[in-house]
Amino acid sequence: MASYEDFDSDTDEELLKDVVALPIQSEGNNFVIPSQTQNQCSTGMENIAEQSETQEQCSQQRVKKDFNEIVFSSDDFLSDMCRGQQCSVIQEAWIAGGMGGQQVKQLTHKLFSASQNPHLSAVYLMYHSYDFFKNKTNSLASFVVDQFEVWLDEFHKTNGYYPTVQQQITKEAVLAVSRQKNGKIVKKVVNMYRGVHYNTYLIPIVEDLIERQEFASACRLAVALNLFGQFKKEDFVLPLIVQDKLSLAEEYLKKDRNMQIDVVSFLDSHIKQPCEMLKEISKTSIPDVNYGKMTTKNVANLVTRLAKRFELDKKSHPNTTLRQKIGGLRYLVHKKYIENSIDEENWKELVEIAVSDSVELQVELVSINTFKFHRL
């Protein structure tokens, strides 16, 4: 990794020329790739119209990020202006080179190697990629994360240790990916920036997402940071369930045994009137609730699924268990009196087994027989 002494005589312009593989020229205070070089490198852009469209998309992405812009630490060795210019050159090379290529890999690795703080340069480049908020596996942001992971491994093989990452840089990196929908990027950044090591320090980031009602992002980040047992079921697990995002909620639930029982018991207590649970989950309106799934049948099926997956005792969901037994009893009645497919001896034996331990089922059996008697 570079030190101050290696480059203390370089100006930002000289350093930039040394770091990037593409020839560059200055126009005032700006550094640009000559158009001739862009044309030589271009393999994925067929005409000027496509270039304009890509530039417009870049502009839209920047606008989208500006409302919650991340402020990154300054690099004592690499000025903010020069760092930003290097990122621009890498981005232009990515677009001109058909979204990838060996040249972009070399550019990113040179940036990491030339930086006094490679972790800071990597997250800065990732976040300022024009496609950062696009949930794509072939984005520049994803490419930067992958290449930084490769660079870290190469650094470790060469030096026998990994570069130090400061707590503040970890916070900035985690904050940068906190609203990222690409779970792969979130997990890799948390891992490379030692997010789990500093996880209690990062809890406020998750809390802010909860406050903004960005429940999916909050859950995704809490899982990546291994923050199990730190949140209540109402914080994001139950909101995700009523938004019909069960798979994401289960990612958190599978590592929190107490919450598994708590959530299943809560849902079980609301199977008769599912919509009543909404006001208990949040005092404010939960966005994007899937009301079509807020039915007794769906909630009961959900309870059954969760109880089975997490191997919970039936005591955690008595209402759903009773509902299933009543369904079984009604099936026996149907087989006996509608299909006439069960003889009297088997009928008595099966019914006795079904209702022997439950007063509720005995009452249900009487109700069913009374109803059938009146029908006859």
Inform me whether the pLDDT recorded for 102 exceeds 70. yes
Residue with the bigger pLDDT between 5 and 147: it is: 147
Q: What is the pLDDT of residue 301?
A: 95
Ranking 57-71, 101-115, 181-195 by mean pLDDT, the lowest is: 57-71
**Average pLDDT for 258-285:** 94
Q: Which residues pair with 32 in a beta bridge?
A: 25
**Average pLDDT for 93-116:** 85
Inform me whether the pLDDT recorded for 36 exceeds 60. no
Place of tokens 């599978």: 254
Q: How confident is the model at residue 222 (pLDDT cuts 50, 70, 90)?
A: very high
What is the DSSP secondary-structure string of 65-80? Answer: HHTTPPPPPPPSSS-H
Write the CB contacts of 90 (distance below 8 Å, at least 6 apart in sequence): 20, 104, 107, 108, 111, 125
Residue with the bigger pLDDT between 230 and 74: it is: 230
The H-or-E segment that residue 25 falls in is strand 25-27
Ranking 44-48, 284-288, 308-312, 339-343 by mean pLDDT, the lowest is: 44-48
Q: What is the pLDDT of residue 370?
A: 59
Tokens of residue 28, six digits: 């005032």
Inform me whether the pLDDT recorded for 105 exceeds 60. yes
Q: What is the pTM of this model?
A: 0.75
CA–CA separation, 271 and 266 (whole Å):
9
Ranking 92-101, 192-201, 270-279 by mean pLDDT, the lowest is: 92-101
Q: What is the pLDDT of residue 59?
A: 41
Q: What is the pLDDT of residue 5?
A: 33
Q: What is the pLDDT of residue 77?
A: 63
3-state DSSP of 333-355: HHHHHHCCCCCHHHHHHHHHHHH
In tens, the pLDDT along 293-340 reads 999 999 999 999 999 999 999 999 999 988 888 887 788 777 777 777
CA–CA separation, 315 and 65 (whole Å):
48
Ranking 121-130, 172-181, 324-333 by mean pLDDT, the lowest is: 324-333
**Average pLDDT for 95-123:** 87
| Domain layout of the chain by residue ranges | 1-162, 164-231, 321-375
Place of tokens 């991340």: 70
Q: What is the pLDDT of residue 348?
A: 75
